[in-house]
Each structure stands twice: as structure tokens, then as C-alpha cells.
Amino acid sequence: MKKKFLFLIVLCFIIIFVSGCDFEDIDQSLKESTKDVTRPKVNCSIDNQYKDDYGFYYYIEGVCENNGSKDYDYLQVEFICYDSEGNNLGTAIDNTNNLLSGQKWKYKAMSLGADANAIDHCDYHEVTGW
């Protein structure tokens, strides 16, 4: 009897949840979240690379300039980090919102997951955005 009662309660919650969902909103949200990621007309320079004082993080600093006529809602700059033997240790990234045409962005990318003491250098990989 207790199992049947518990099953009925769970079934009621499922019915309430499904009847309260607006599937058109969910479909629209999915369409918006799959925006076309493009290669923006952005030039980036690397001005500095360094480890923090504790050896936890590796940073790459520089400037990206939006040379195109398009305004971007979101931009991400990505670097690939290597050890002294050339092994790929992972990536360093930074991102920003609303980089307008003609604007410059001072980024500070941070390594993710790699031991900063093992990183020898990071190379520019790409800028993506929409």
C-alpha cells in the first residue's frame, strides 16, 4: 500500500511539472543557446606570460582589438600551453561580453587544470565569439 501511495505522489509531481512547462520557451532557449560561433575580426597581442607567486596559475596578458564593423556580445581568447618538451598541457582562456567595433579589450587568460610550474609557454590558438 505504501509503494502505491508513493508512486501516486511521484506521478502527481511529474504531471504538475510537465503541465507547468512552456515547451515553446524551452525550444526558443535551445535555439538561442546554439548561436553560430564565428571567428571574429579581432587581432590579439601577447604582452606578458608569467606564473603566480605560488605556482598555482599561469597567466597570459595582452590586448585584443575589434577591427571589424561588427559588435560582439561575447568573445573568448584561447591559448594552448606547453611544457619545455613541447607537450600540450591544456589551455588558458579569458572571455568578455560586449566588445564593440573599434574597442580594445585587455585580457588576462589563466591556465586551467595544468600545474603552472610545468608550463614553459603558451601559444595563441584562437578567438571565438558571437
Taking only the tens place, the pLDDT of each residue in 38-49 is 678 899 999 999
| More confident position, 38 or 130 | 130
Q: Is residue 46 a contact partner of residue 109, using CB atoms and an 8 Å limit?
A: no
Q: State the Cα–Cα distance between residues 15 and 13, nearest whole angstrom.
A: 5
Grid cell at residue 87? 607537450
Confidence class of residue 101 from pLDDT cuts 50, 70 and 90? very high
Residues forming a β-bridge with 43 = 65
Domains of the chain, start order: 2-33 (no CATH), 42-129 (2.60.40.10)
pLDDT at 33: 53
pLDDT at 27: 54
Q: pLDDT for 50-90, tens place per residue?
A: 998 888 899 999 999 999 999 999 999 999 999 999 999 99
DSSP code at position 34: T
pLDDT at 44: 94
- The yes-or-no verdict on residue 92 having pLDDT over 70 is yes
Pure H helices in the chain: 2-20, 23-33
